[in-house]
Amino acid sequence: MSSAPCVAIVGVTGAVGQEFLRVIEQRNFPFSELRLLASARSAGKPLTFKGKTYKVEELKDTSFKGVDLALFSAGGSISKQYAPIAKDAGVAVVDNSSAFRMTDGIPLIVPEVNPQDMKHLKLGKGCIIANPNCSTIIMLVPVTPLHRAATVKRMVVSTYQAASGAGYAAMMELEEQSRQVLVGQTPVCKIFKQQYAFNLFSHNSDMQPNGYNQEEMKMLKETHKIWSDNKPRITTTCVRVPVMRAHAESINLEFEKPLDENDAREILRKAPGITLIDDRASNRFPTPLDASGNDDIYVGRIRNDISRDDKKGLDLFVSGDQLRKGAALNAVQIAELML
């Protein structure tokens, strides 16, 4: 585009919507006009951004006239209703929901992994691009450079997912339940069916007939689409943990070719979007507090799998901010590829 785009943020009052604003400001993403859109109950709410006060507008069919880019984070049902309307109005939509991730013809993008899948898309031309699941992004940023080096045959992943993944209300529930438990009160469960404070439980997404929950199946299916390769075998276990912000994952990889842990460490050190915290002597490795508020995926516990004798196995522990690289940052990076 010859001039800065008109940008709309759909779901601006939510946790990811607010993170969109922070990322746009921090990365100095160009815009000529900014439209802040949300539900009717939020319409008229004032929001200050870069020294200017905006009023939140109600999301309507007519909201996208003159808009070049729309960042969506308002849930799958809203995306299914309004993203096609925006696309038909000539808007480039980057959608953070699961609504279009597995739709044929709609790119599913992690900029460090598969930017080539959207090279034909530009702002000012109507399109929809899907932002992957947060756990998939956090996993694939470090695993992909290793996959390119030695080819992943099988991946076993366990996630430790923070309240931020379930939105602002879940974060507030964890905070309130923690207060209640510490003073001897029975914690009130509204967002989750089980006590969240000082507890952990299987991810709250819907269980599937095969015994996996929806979050676990997303990681498998999305990885195959992003890599354009269905051969890697993937199994996942996703768990909610009482952490406010930033997910962590334990990852075991089986490769087609040997990959020494020292070579893997150097590959990751040079890869974009990664910070290594891998200090064995001090037992210092990535934590959610390291990742919170930061852009990179933090990687450590890099070691060859001692259950194998062929150096074709590797273990990693990673952590990434679900609201940033797992959501808002990844979406803005996608938009930057279209500038």
- Rounded to 10 degrees, the C-alpha dihedral 82/85/87/90 comes to -130
3-state secondary structure (DSSP) of residue 176:
helix
Catalytic residue among 6, 134, 147, 238: 134
Given a contact cutoff of 8 angstroms between Cβ atoms, the answer to whether 75 and 11 are in contact is yes
Whether 120 is catalytic is: no
Determine the Cα–Cα distance for residues 292 and 326; give it in Å rounded to an integer.
11
Strands (E), the chain: 6-10, 33-38, 46-49, 52-55, 57-58, 69-72, 92-95, 127-130, 152-161, 201-202, 233-240, 247-255, 274-276, 297-304, 313-320
Amino acid at 244: M
Cross-strand pairs, 284 = 279
Q: Which of 6, 147, 203, 247 is catalytic?
A: 247
Strand-pairing partners, residue 303, are 315
* Active site annotation includes 247: yes
Cβ 142 vs Cβ 301: under 8 Å: no
Looking at the DSSP bridge assignments, the partners of residue 304 are: 314
Cα 64 to Cα 38: distance, rounded to the nearest angstrom:
13
Among all residues, which ones are annotated catalytic?
134, 247
